[in-house]
Amino acid sequence: MTRAVPPPSSCEAVWAGERVLLLAGRALWWPARRTLFVADLHLGKAAAYRALGQPVPGGTTRQNLARLDALIATQAPQAIVFLGDFLHAPEARTPALLRAAAAWRARHAGIAMTLVRGNHDRRAGDPPPELGIAVVNEPHLLGPFACCHHPQRHATHFVLAGHVHPVCRLQGPGRDSLRLPCFVSEPGLALLPAFGEFTGGAPMDAAPGRRLHVVGGAGVWALPASAAP
């Protein structure tokens, strides 16, 4: 009987001369600085939709924070950098969400946290000061990295960004296909998948010099160029 091989929980890459791990939890780990990068959390997106009368399910904030808890338990970071869109919209600032966020932050009071403002943060407003999250504008320079929300180029630093919620479509031998979140890297720039649930995504095509790492379930895989659409 053949024993199933567990999926790889991360893929290693070297960006700007630094070893990083692309995690199946849809986050980036920088071991040298014990720093976790998370893009597009979008806390309260479902609540914002419900405030507009859209019938969407609840519980996404609880799920997102539980997934962050799991990453923190595994990686034990000294710092977390949120690459924009911490809150989704002004309607996300419900008492229940703010209580959940405060309780989550209290569980991790020893971790330094920074938010690089994204387009949704400008509309939703900065996180409440009592969360103890430093808020900065892009680009936020950290070692060899320029921490941004919007994809862009930087003259001296390798850009880490979010915003586009990259996804990749894998085609099977028949008409079956899978649409999965992915990391995208190319010279000078890497895009992280959206961390938040209920976020949608933008398809990414193959291009010269571009690498795609697809996240599925508890695994992350580097796609050969021939496998990318």
Q: Return the domain boundaries, the chain.
A: 10-227
Q: pLDDT tens, 1-25? A: 445 556 678 999 999 999 999 999 9
- What are the pLDDT digits (tens) for 219-229? 999 998 654 44
Average pLDDT over residues 17-40: 97
Quote the tokens at residue 154: 């930087």
Q: Over the Cα atoms of the chain, what is R_g? A: 17
State the CATH architecture for 10-227: 4-Layer Sandwich (3.60)
| pTM, 2 dp | 0.91
CB 88 within 8 A of CB 107: no
Single out the residue of 168, 175, 172 nearest to residue 191, CA to CA: 168
Residue 216, pLDDT > 50, answer: yes
Question: What are 132-172's pLDDT values in tens digits?
Answer: 999 999 999 999 999 999 999 999 999 999 999 999 987 76
For residue 52, the Cα-to-chain-centroid distance in whole angstroms is 26
Helix 95-107 with 60-75: angle, nearest 10 deg:
10
Retrieve residue 42's tokens.
């979008």
